[in-house]
Amino acid sequence: MAPRSLWNGSIAFGLVTVPVKVYTATDSKSVHFREVHAKDGGKIEHRRICPKDDQTVGSDEIVRGYQVSARKWVELTDEEVAAAAGTQARLIDVDHFVPASEIDPVYYDKAYYLGAQDKGRDAYALLHAALEKADRAGVGRWVFHNRERTVIVRPLGDVLALHTMRFADEVVDPSDLELARVNRKPTEQEIEMAGKLVDGLHTGFDPSEYEDSHRKAVLALVEAKAAGKNIELPAPEEAEAADDLLAQLEASLSA
């Protein structure tokens, strides 16, 4: 069965329009728990309480507000929030092209697939072939769920993938976190040895070789508990500290 698309529209590539459907590309496989009351397993409900009257507030008595000062809130309707999205264009205007391999992983936010629509499949095939040949990703803007985002479009196998990208001011600059001074920097000898260790562990990446073993362990715990077994609690761990770097590196290499 074909999945359901989240959004239908077009990509504008110069004067060529490419009709597309957007599909979600990922889904979490985490074991899902719900909040329960530990002593009786009662389901936990989240209730909205007004702290002033100490009363439950119904959803029809709730409005959306943005804080402008300590005591003042500005109320906005759905339409007013939608106004911030700008024109609800059914168009993703891809107007410049970047080498995707140069984009740092921190900028990638959410991933989607673009499907071809029945009409204009030749235009989809053309954009796919040209991006592949030029080895570039198209950059554009996409308004989705009343929010405007920067997106890239890139070929992935036989389809096009679309990624929403984080804005520069959302990404923390690592150098904002302060690093203590060291009296003695790592020596060339240590760096060389560590480099050998890196080379020794170098391998190709095949994602299917890695399984979420924790997910299975969690499900096994659920089964054990359901069967009435006692679960042994793990002892707290203590991290070991590094003192003699060179000796540790030597031991690692000979291990």
Residues 138-177 that bind other proteins (CB under 8 A): 138-139, 146-150, 156-159, 161, 163, 165-175, 177
CB contact at 8 A, 31 and 215: yes
Cα–Cα dist 162/151, whole Å: 7
Q: In the bound complex, what is the minimum distance in angstroms from residue 74's beta carbon to other proteins?
A: 4
- DSSP assignment letter at 4: P
Candidate list 6, 7, 9, 164; residue touching other proteins; CB under 8 A:
9
Dihedrals φ, ψ of 250, to 5°? -60, -45
Assess 8 for contact with other proteins (CB under 8 A): yes
CA separation, residue 215 to residues 29, 31, 166, 232 (Å): 8, 6, 29, 18
Q: In the bound complex, what is the minimum distance in angstroms from residue 136's beta carbon to other proteins?
A: 6
Candidate list 6, 7, 65, 164; residue touching other proteins; CB under 8 A:
65
Candidate list 21, 92, 142, 153; residue touching other proteins; CB under 8 A:
21
Q: In the bound complex, what is the minimum distance in angstroms from residue 133's beta carbon to other proteins?
A: 5
Cα–Cα dist 86/107, whole Å: 23
- Structure-block tokens of residue 200: 């020794």
Assess 82 for contact with other proteins (CB under 8 A): yes
Q: Which of residues 90-149 bind other proteins (CB under 8 A)?
A: 90-91, 95-108, 111, 113-131, 133-134, 136, 138-139, 146-149
Assess 40 for contact with other proteins (CB under 8 A): yes
Number of neighbours of residue 89 by Cβ within 10 angstroms:
15
Q: In the bound complex, what is the minimum distance in angstroms from residue 231's beta carbon to other proteins?
A: 5
Q: In the bound complex, what is the minimum distance in angstroms from residue 224's beta carbon to other proteins?
A: 9
The continuous run of DSSP H or E covering 229 comes out as: none
- Structure-block tokens of residue 138: 């198209």
Cα–Cα dist 18/13, whole Å: 7
Q: In the bound complex, what is the minimum distance in angstroms from residue 98's beta carbon to other proteins?
A: 4
Assess 233 for contact with other proteins (CB under 8 A): yes
CB contact at 8 A, 131 and 153: yes
Candidate list 6, 7, 70, 81; residue touching other proteins; CB under 8 A:
81
